[in-house]
Amino acid sequence: MTETLLTISGLTKAYPGVVANDNVSFEIGEGEVHALLGENGAGKSTLVKMIYGLVKPDSGSMTFQGKPFAPPEPRIARALGVAMVFQHFSLFDALNVAENISLGMEDPPSQRDLAARIREVSETYGLPLDPFRTVGDLSAGERQRVEIIRCLLQDPRLLIMDEPTSVLTPQEVEILFQTLRKLTAEGVAILYISHKLEEIRTLCDHATILRLGKNVGTCIPRETSARDMAEQMVGSAFEAPARPDRNLGAVALDVSGLSVTSPGTFGTSLRNIHFTVQQGEILGIGGVAGNGQDELLAALSGELTTDANAIKLHGSPVGSFGPTARRDLGLLTAPEERLGHAAAPDMSLTENAMLTAASREKLMNKGMLNWAKARIFANRIIEEFDVRTPGPENAARALSGGNLQKFVIGREVLQRPEVLVVNQPTWGVDAAAAASIRQALLDLAAGGAAIICISQDLDELMEISDRFCALNEGRLSDIRPALGLSVDEIGLMMGGAHGMEVSHADA
Amino acid sequence: MDLSSISPVLLLASLMVAATPILIAALGELVVERAGVLNLGIEGMMITGAICGFAVAVETGSPLLGFIAAAIGGALLSLLFVLLTQFALANQVASGLALTLFGLGLSALLGQKYVGVKPPPIAKLHIPVLSDIPFFGPVLFSHDIVVYLGLALVVAVWYMLKYTRAGLILRGVGENHDAAHALGYKVIRVRIMAITFGGACAGVGGAYISLIRVPQWTEGMTAGAGWIALALVVFASWKAGRVMLGAYLFGGVTVLQLNLQAAGVSIPVEYLSMSPYVITIIVLVIMSADKSRAPASLGRIFHATQ
């Protein structure tokens, strides 16, 4: 824990129009867990890509185990003992676990020997995994195990983890942390990137904070409050969402006996789902990704139609209606995938505003589009939701994740929905933008709308929802008041740790 | 009508010859598509290979040199596709269609003085003992060497994709090019190699038509074989064994319907002519109803951002 493993000094990387990293320096010691904090676009990903050899720095230098270190490609970095677990899993769905792991190794042994080594490592570190399962069939937690074991098989000295816990249940996070502690005890250093400040406080020894590509400070997370760290990241104080008083009204949305077969090969079908949401209420639906969230959103939005009586809006059946008809009645949705589902990436913000708001905001007259009105509406979204963009004629793709998310949520909120369904409203969004999105949802509920918030961020659900339930393998758990729920209870509602039985059955 | 005029031995023997061009071209395209690239230019590369092979074989008198020239010709044309799709990041569908049209025109130009010329014949193998077995000898063991090359290629492609490191990397690139890039694999380089291999295979397949199956040079003589090869790959669910099955089925029905036409069966000729296409597609559609699916990055343009 004393020897310095990696020194970074004066690392700079500029892209056209933006300096991603500006003179960043810090050190990581052996056996240390070092957190890298910062908002979206602060330059964390670029920095770790430079360490992993995917991106070449413009200037600055690194030393690794006392020697100059400038990996021209990941292969070299891996050979020296740098391993990385990616934020968006770098896995191949159609290949099996052993093949996936083999692709991440320099000279892999034969498949049979590799399978044996995978079993061995997975048992040593308590990460059960069957080498011959197809990755596309695994849960998010199991997929991450594949990535971690891929790293561990190369005896890394430095393990880089980019947002590793965003898709895990609390139980799985606990297993992951135990594994990481075992590794640090063996002298492995960990560079840990996360938005979850409480996790960083429990796990990390040191933290470096980046803002707009610059190193703006370091802290010892155990001795710093989450709020202080967040404010250092943003550079100013911001308001935590306030929960205005709300009066619950009549039942706005009544879902009963909703069963939907998933259209995708690797999707999850919904099984007999029941819930109601009242006016002015926020229902939080938790659960690990891939347990039916996308299907539930599709069923509620009308992308998948069902039996008419399975979904009732203000008492009248709408289950057989498509998205446009449901929108006209006031049931609005904002899906998770910003680029491609919630917004058309290459279309301008005005066009994207037109796409969902055409009929509710009367931007259309007898099939003719009124672009002037659409532009005014897009400008209103930009203004009221503080979307940072040069103007509504910019393509959706050009916005950062957080700004586009504010636009997508703003577009639905400003259409005065009676029922709003959002999926992962703040995924990959920095703390300040997330706070403003949550505030907008709370204000909307205070105005009498019913809101269903599907999310994997439990802190978010606890912060805004009145009642909480979880999706697990397409089934909905009991619905319970959110106030006073413990982490353990939530974890059990989410189905505990996934896939623990798999390796035992195999062993 | 005289069905007794159809000899089963000759029928089966010519089946293998009829199937070989599409088999070789389709195996090349299989590798290309497994690497995540959709090259619709097979027809153009086949016909270019057909004329390159024909011209060189006529000029040198060596069919072997002809086949080598055909492979080079097909590969060179595929490099044009590489340039368009891998470096200029052009749309693969449009580039592939353009390649087909370009290949048809180019081959017509190159082939002007070869119309009506006879190519040097290629010897049929005579394997002692095996070729003398009654029935099986003429059906299986008395063909030219390219037929066996095609069969060897089936095994080689299957083995390469399933058991070798190179095959695993190729599948990885075709499945998720972003992940492959993140792990440090050269996505573009892998794809260039796959596309060139596909081009060479298509060229050899084309030359087989002009040098052995027909054998002469006519404009547009591949007559849609490239499109059949393309369809075979998809309906064979990107599996080498099924490509072979499909190619032989197609070859078999083609030969059979020709024989039926010659025997004067009272079915309109048009129905007979369309039968190979219809039957092959129906069989492969039924077979592809299992869970196998296309390589996930198929046809997507890869650009290493940041």
> Tens digits of per-residue pLDDT, A149-186?
888 888 889 999 887 776 677 777 888 888 889 889 99
pLDDT at residue A138 in the model = 80
**CB spacing of A104 vs B183 below 8 angstroms:** yes
Question: Residue A129 carries which DSSP code?
Answer: -
Q: Using the predicted structure, report yes or no on whether residue A237 has a pLDDT greater than 70.
A: no
pLDDT at residue A240 in the model = 67
Are A275 and A251 in contact by the 8 Å Cβ rule? The answer is: no
pLDDT at residue A499 in the model = 47
Contacts for A200-207 with beta carbons within 8 Å, 24 or more apart?
Answer: A200/A35, A200/A37, A200/A229, A201/A226, A202/A177, A203/A33, A203/A35, A203/A177, A204/A33, A204/A34, A204/A35, A205/A32, A205/A33, A205/A34, A206/A32, A206/A33, A206/A34, A206/A35, A207/A34, A207/A35, A207/A36, A207/A37
What's the mean pLDDT in A236-259?
A: 81
pLDDT band at A503 (very low <50, low <70, confident <90, very high): very low
Report the chain A residue with the minimal C-alpha distance to residue B290.
Answer: A265
Hey, is A218 helix, strand or coil?
Answer: strand
Superfamily of the domain at A4-234: P-loop containing nucleotide triphosphate hydrolases (3.40.50.300)
Q: How many helices (H) and strands (E) does chain A have?
A: 17, 23
Q: Which residues of B touch A54 (CB under 8 A)?
A: 182, 184
| Percent of chain A residues topping a pLDDT of 70 | 94
Hey, is A17 helix, strand or coil?
Answer: coil
Hey, is B161 helix, strand or coil?
Answer: helix
A424 to A288, A452, A454: CA distances (angstroms): 11, 11, 6
A257: left (phi over 0), alpha (psi -120 to 50) or beta: left
Do β-strands A419-423 and A450-454 pair in parallel, antiparallel, or remain unpaired?
parallel
Which tens digit of pLDDT belongs to each residue from B149-168?
Answer: 999 999 999 999 998 999 99
pLDDT at residue A498 in the model = 52
Q: Which residues, other chains included, contact B258 with Cβ-Cβ below 8 Å and sequence gap of 6+?
A: none
B/e letters for A42-78, b = 16+ CB within 10 Å, e = fewer, are: bbbbbbbbbbbbbbebeebebbbeeeebebeebebbb
pLDDT at residue B295 in the model = 85
Are A36 and A193 in contact by the 8 Å Cβ rule? The answer is: yes
Q: Using the predicted structure, report yes or no on whether residue A415 has a pLDDT greater than 80.
A: yes
Report the chain A residue with the minimal C-alpha distance to residue B176.
Answer: A92
Q: Which helix (H) or strand (E) holds A173?
A: helix A170-185
Q: Which residues, other chains included, contact B37 with Cβ-Cβ below 8 Å and sequence gap of 6+?
A: B85, B92, B174, B191, B194, B195, B298, B299
Return the amino acid letter for A33. V
pLDDT at residue B43 in the model = 95
| Inter-chain CB pairs, A–B, below 8 Å | 57
pLDDT at residue A238 in the model = 64
Question: Where in chain A do CATH 3.40.50.300 domains reside?
Answer: 4-234, 251-341+417-500
Side-chain-side CA neighbours of residue A22 (13 Å): 11
Q: Where are the beta strands (DSSP E) in A203-264?
A: 206-211, 214-219, 251-260
The residue among A91, A92, A397 with the most chain B CBs within 10 A of its CB, best to mutate, is A92
Shortest distance between the Cα of B227 and any Cα of chain A, in A, equals 27
Q: Which residues, other chains included, contact B196 with Cβ-Cβ below 8 Å and sequence gap of 6+?
A: B75, B78, B79, B82
Instruction: Tell whether A46 lies on the interface with B, counting CB pairs under 8 A.
Output: yes
CA distance A503 to A116: 13
pLDDT at residue B95 in the model = 94
Return the amino acid letter for B14. S
**CB spacing of A94 vs B296 below 8 angstroms:** yes
pLDDT averaged over every residue in chain A? 85
CA distance A154 to A151: 6
Selecting from B165, B179, B293 the residue whose C-beta is nearest the C-beta of A92 gives: B179
Q: Write down the H helix ranges in A302-347.
A: 323-329
What's the mean pLDDT in B100-104?
A: 95
Q: ipTM value, please give it.
A: 0.78
Report the chain B residue with the minimal C-alpha distance to residue A13.
Answer: B306
pLDDT band at B139 (very low <50, low <70, confident <90, very high): confident
Q: Where are the beta strands (DSSP E) in A404-458?
A: 419-423, 450-454
Q: Which helix (H) or strand (E) holds A312?
A: strand A311-313
Shortest distance between the Cα of A74 and any Cα of chain B, in A, equals 5
Helix, strand, coil % over all residues of chain A, rounded to 5: 35, 25, 40
Q: Using the predicted structure, report yes or no on whether residue A361 has a pLDDT greater than 70.
A: yes
Q: Using the predicted structure, report yes or no on whether residue A504 has a pLDDT greater than 50.
A: no
**CB spacing of B180 vs A103 below 8 angstroms:** yes
Q: Which residue has the higher pLDDT, A442 or A126?
A: A442
Instruction: Tell whether B169 lies on the interface with A, counting CB pairs under 8 A.
Output: yes
Neighbours of A173 (CB within 10 A): 21
**CB spacing of B171 vs A95 below 8 angstroms:** yes
Q: Which CATH number fits domain A251-341+417-500: 3.40.50.300, 3.30.70.260, 3.10.129.10, 2.40.37.10?
A: 3.40.50.300
Question: Residue B209 carries which DSSP code?
Answer: I
Hey, is B38 helix, strand or coil?
Answer: coil
The residue among B175, B186, B301 with the most chain A CBs within 10 A of its CB, best to mutate, is B175
| Contacting A residues, span 66-95, partner chain B, CB-CB under 8 Å | 73-75, 78, 86, 88-95
Return the amino acid letter for A498. H
pLDDT band at B306 (very low <50, low <70, confident <90, very high): very low
Report the chain B residue with the minimal C-alpha distance to residue A111.
Answer: B163
**Rg, C-alpha atoms of chain A:** 24
Bridge partners (DSSP) of residue A174 are none
Return the amino acid letter for A477. S
Shortest distance between the Cα of B26 and any Cα of chain A, in A, equals 22
Q: What predicted TM-score, i.e. pTM, was given to this entire model?
A: 0.73
The end-to-end CA distance of chain B, in Å, is 70
Bridge partners (DSSP) of residue A277 are A253
CA distance A436 to B221: 67
Q: Which residues of A touch B178 (CB under 8 A)?
A: 88, 90
Are A191 and A158 in contact by the 8 Å Cβ rule? The answer is: yes
Q: Which residues of A touch B291 (CB under 8 A)?
A: 265
Report the chain B residue with the minimal C-alpha distance to residue A15.
Answer: B306
Hey, is A395 helix, strand or coil?
Answer: strand
CA distance A306 to A304: 7
Minimum mean pLDDT among A93-97, B24-28, B65-69, B187-191: which range? Answer: A93-97
Bridge partners (DSSP) of residue A219 are A207
B/e letters for B3-14, b = 16+ CB within 10 Å, e = fewer, are: eeeeeeeeebbb
Helices B165-175/B8-34 angle, 10° precision: 70
The residue among A90, A93, A95 with the most chain B CBs within 10 A of its CB, best to mutate, is A90
pLDDT at residue B102 in the model = 96
Bridge partners (DSSP) of residue A316 are A313
Side-chain-side CA neighbours of residue A379 (13 Å): 6
Q: Which residues of A touch B180 (CB under 8 A)?
A: 92, 103
Instruction: Tell whether A103 lies on the interface with B, counting CB pairs under 8 A.
Output: yes
- The C-alpha angle A116, A117, A122, rounded to 5 degrees, equals 105
Q: Using the predicted structure, report yes or no on whether residue A190 has a pLDDT greater than 90.
A: yes
What's the mean pLDDT in A274-293?
A: 89
Which tens digit of pLDDT belongs to each residue from A435-462?
Answer: 889 999 999 999 899 999 998 888 888 8
CA distance A258 to A100: 36
Instruction: Tell whether B176 lies on the interface with A, counting CB pairs under 8 A.
Output: yes
Are A198 and A228 in contact by the 8 Å Cβ rule? The answer is: no
Are B171 and A88 in contact by the 8 Å Cβ rule? The answer is: no
CA distance B225 to B229: 6
Q: Which residue has the higher pLDDT, B183 or A284?
A: A284
